[in-house]
Amino acid sequence: MRTQVGIVGGGPAGLLLSHLLHLRGIESVVLERRSREELESEIRAGVLEQGTMDLLNEIGVGERMMREGAFHRGVNLQFGGRRHRIDFEDLVGRGIMLYGQHEVVKDLIAARLASGGKIVFEAQVLAVEGADTDSPSVRYAGPDGREEALSCDFVAGCDGFHGACRPSIPEGARREYERRYPFGWFGILVRAPRSSEELIYCLHERGFALISTRSPEIQRMYLQCDPDDDVANWPDERVWEELHARLAMEDGWRLKEGPILQKGIVAMRSFVCEPMRYGRLFLAGDAAHIVPPTGAKGMNLAVADVRVLCEALAEFYASGRAELLDAYSERCLRRVWKAQRFSWWMTSMLHRFHGEDEFRYRLQVAELDYVTGSRAASTSLAENYTGLPLE
């Protein structure tokens, strides 16, 4: 096959880039290793910044999000048995939308196929070749196992942390920064009524806890755990006991229980690859950076990346000018590192670092007390959580 932009990865980043390019009259082909059914059924969390939500509406794929998603005007921070609300709308005039990443994927797939977009499912990408030339190609095994090649002008690597695009960049041409955290999240999906209309982030002596929602009937809850723990060590009774202990309130508020539908452990790490470009190969989303989920920045960073990349490609095809392509990595990385800072700050403020003395825990409580008691500090949190403006 031959196209203008070869896109590796059919997650939110790759599909959104393909649709944005389509709206600019630029052809693309998306190669995705999973089947459509697998892609659409992989349940993933989704906290959308105001800018992400606005973009999906602008390009015509936000109708179901607006109908089924949950718009939140604030968030709750809990510590010492008391809960404090950060009012996003009052502080910065913005909010967030809770709408699963897999639901965004469904909407984007439908939009791409309806407009004649080319998505090759079950395509196992093997390597990107000739990235440092004017005619790169993507070598992949198709659904039938036959090896094929996609020739293109540019390659967008949107294939995640474990994909083939980043390793296609020579080691001497990239620098990688990584931090692994000594804890993970034990997550459950629960069939139960909402315990809170808005997210609850909780610091407790026993560790972190988070209450989120997927729908009026399905809730998502997390608690801090050992990243090497086994799900089998967490029977339902232990999960509820730990959540109730960490989320106990002075006023007697109580978490609503229900059947647990899913359990899993999420490791926590921060990762950045610099630069995000090698020749005509551009990395976007998790292929270039990973953030801990505490700051809800993962998918939003991917959206910001492809917005910048689409703008640069559109300028190139319209005028032949490559200044925006040359600036792509620098522009994206400024936002990436700010998101890394915010995610690290939220993670450090809300998780127990076991093995350290009580001094650190007291500092965390003092930090939360300051953030919830200072309008300036609350505004900083609200500004970052709802999304910094695109530069």
User: Which residues are identified as catalytic?
Assistant: 72, 201, 293, 297, 385
* Entry field: residues in the chain: 391
Contact 75, 199 (CB under 8 A): yes
Number of Cβ within 10 Å of residue 37's Cβ equals: 9
Tokens 């729908």 map to which residue? 215
CA angle 388, 95, 221 (to 5 degrees): 105
Question: How does strand 96-98 pair with strand 281-283?
Answer: unpaired
Edge-first strand order for the sheet with 70-72 is 47-48, 96-98, 70-72
Backbone dihedral region of 104: left (phi > 0), alpha (psi from -120 to 50 degrees) or beta?
alpha
Burial of residue 112 (CB within 10 Å: 0-12, 13-18, 19+) is buried
Angstrom distance (rounded) from CA 114 to CA 108? 10
